[in-house]
């Protein structure tokens, strides 16, 4: 399903955001079920084992938040004490994202973050504030501030982006028009089409690992030659 008609395909455009961290859980099937950013950590949220080390990761929608486990046995452990598990996840996400954070000022007040910023994981996205008051004000218009954060991430990272091909398909980023720019976990990821965005959601940590290594995905040249279409993306239009 297409969720945007602009090149900057940011998470803020997907859904209205909130600070919900507790409640019932249910297995989610697609990116449309989640609020905010995907789970981009490469390790299980409970065991710390590498995702994929025991087969396909187990996906959990916890109040709209994308959580992932290495195996089915870790989900009940999460359910037994979600607050404890989320605290661990949040700490890992803060550590993973703080070096990528584009501002040294409060996204709400504009004041310097100082030596002890208030770090909040907002549906898998780190947002940093100079005070608790700013964090509360963020809640009143969170989508506006996430959009501001997205724009800053794109502006800061686009020139130093490591690859000129789609991280999913391996095709040139402009093969179907302007690249689609998505911000996930305060990191810019660029795609050639919306079909690749959907694929990214299935294993975002793998895409991050490829970006770190400066590698692109592998397109299906044989299928492209046979069908005369963009490899692996039949039926996905580039909406600009």
12-51 core/surface letters (b: 16 or more CB in 10 A; e: else): bbbbebeeebeeeeeebeebeebbbbbbbbbbbbbeeeeb
Provide CB contacts within 8 A for 155, sequence distance 6+. Answer: 102
Give pLDDT, residue 190: 96
**Local confidence band at 101 (pLDDT 50, 70, 90 cut-offs):** very high
Give pLDDT, residue 1: 24
Q: How many structural domains is the chain composed of? A: 1
Provide CB contacts within 8 A for 217, sequence distance 6+. Answer: 165, 166, 167, 168, 169, 170, 196, 210
For residues 97-125, average pLDDT:
96
Residue 3 is assigned to a structural domain of this protein? no
119 - beta bridge partners?
128
**Local confidence band at 106 (pLDDT 50, 70, 90 cut-offs):** very high
Residue 175 is assigned to a structural domain of this protein? yes
**Local confidence band at 31 (pLDDT 50, 70, 90 cut-offs):** low
Residue 65 is assigned to a structural domain of this protein? yes
Residue 230 is assigned to a structural domain of this protein? no
Residue 6 is assigned to a structural domain of this protein? no
Element at 77 (helix H, strand E): helix 74-80
Residue 69 is assigned to a structural domain of this protein? yes
Residue 24 is assigned to a structural domain of this protein? yes
HSE-CB at 2 with a 13 A cutoff on CA atoms is 14
pLDDT digits (tens, 9 = 90+) for 214-228: 988 775 443 343 344
Residue 209 is assigned to a structural domain of this protein? yes
- Does residue 190 sit in helix, strand or coil? strand
For residues 109-127, average pLDDT:
96
pTM (predicted TM-score) = 0.79
pLDDT above 60: residue 180: yes
Give the residue numbers spanning the domain of 35: 11-225
Strands 125-129 and 180-184: unpaired
pLDDT digits (tens, 9 = 90+) for 32-83: 678 899 999 999 989 999 999 999 999 999 999 999 999 999 999 999 999 9
Give pLDDT, residue 48: 92
């Amino acid at each position: 399903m297409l969720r945007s008609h602009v090149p900057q395909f940011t998470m803020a455009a997907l859904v209205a955001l909130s600070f919900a961290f507790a409640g019932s859980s249910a297995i989610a099937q697609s990116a449309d079920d989640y609020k905010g950013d995907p789970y981009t950590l490469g390790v299980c949220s409970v065991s710390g084992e590498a995702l994929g080390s025991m087969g396909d990761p187990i996906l959990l929608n916890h109040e709209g938040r994308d959580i992932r486990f290495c195996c089915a046995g870790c989900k009940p452990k999460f359910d037994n004490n979600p607050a404890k598990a989320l605290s661990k996840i949040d700490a890992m996400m803060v550590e993973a994202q703080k070096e990528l954070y584009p501002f040294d000022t409060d996204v709400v007040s504009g004041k310097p973050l100082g030596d002890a910023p208030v770090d909040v994981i907002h549906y898998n996205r780190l947002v940093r504030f100079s005070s608790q008051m700013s964090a509360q004000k963020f809640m009143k218009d969170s989508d506006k501030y996430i959009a501001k954060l997205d724009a800053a991430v794109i502006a800061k990272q686009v020139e130093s982006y490591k690859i000129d091909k789609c991280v999913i398909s391996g095709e040139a980023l402009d093969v179907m028009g302007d690249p689609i720019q998505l911000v996930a976990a305060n990191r810019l990821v660029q795609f050639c089409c919306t079909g690749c965005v959907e694929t990214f959601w299935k294993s975002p940590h793998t895409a991050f690992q490829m970006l770190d290594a400066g590698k692109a995905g592998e397109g299906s040249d044989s299928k492209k030659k046979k069908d005369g279409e963009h490899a692996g993306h039949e039926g996905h239009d580039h909406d600009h």
